[in-house]
Amino acid sequence: MANNALSVPGIVVNDVPVGIVPNSYVSNRGKGTITVRAESAGGGSSKSVHTENAEDKIGKMKWDMYNTDENKAFFVEWKSQIGSNAITASQEGMKPESGQSMSLVNDPDWEGSPDGVVSFEFEGDPLADA
């Protein structure tokens, strides 16, 4: 059985497929961090205590797109949909990643050049397998 990497995903935002710069997709599942501390158990012994940090449970999806009029229109739409964007990243032979209640959190710079690239960063609920 082959191990595939999510390297060339198709991205769908609010049911609309969008083109991205190859190899620019990055995600964070938003499962949060675990803090491990030692608790004294008396007599010089200890045991570990494990706690979850709920503040870190934020799903993140980001990618680059080219500086086009169409992508500027997408930016305006996505930025206005605070907490309402739904995103799926999928690739043949792999489980899709799905982000719900996503907001476009950055205000990207629009590079004025023939190969200008714009980064889009979304955050929301922890990602789920679609």
43-93 pLDDT per residue, tens: 889 999 999 999 999 999 999 999 999 999 999 999 999 999 999 999 888
Cβ–Cβ contacts within 10 Å for residue 19, how many? Answer: 13
Cα dihedral 116, 17, 10, 75 sign? positive
Query: Percentage of residues in the chain with pLDDT exceeding 70?
Result: 92
pLDDT of residue 48: 94
Q: Are 9 and 93 in contact (CB under 8 A)?
A: no
Higher pLDDT, 112 or 30: 30
Banded model confidence at residue 1, pLDDT cuts 50, 70, 90:
very low
13 HSE (CA, 13 A, CB side): 23
Q: Full-prediction pTM beyond 0.75?
A: yes
Domain residue ranges of the chain, discontinuous segments joined by +: 10-29+57-129
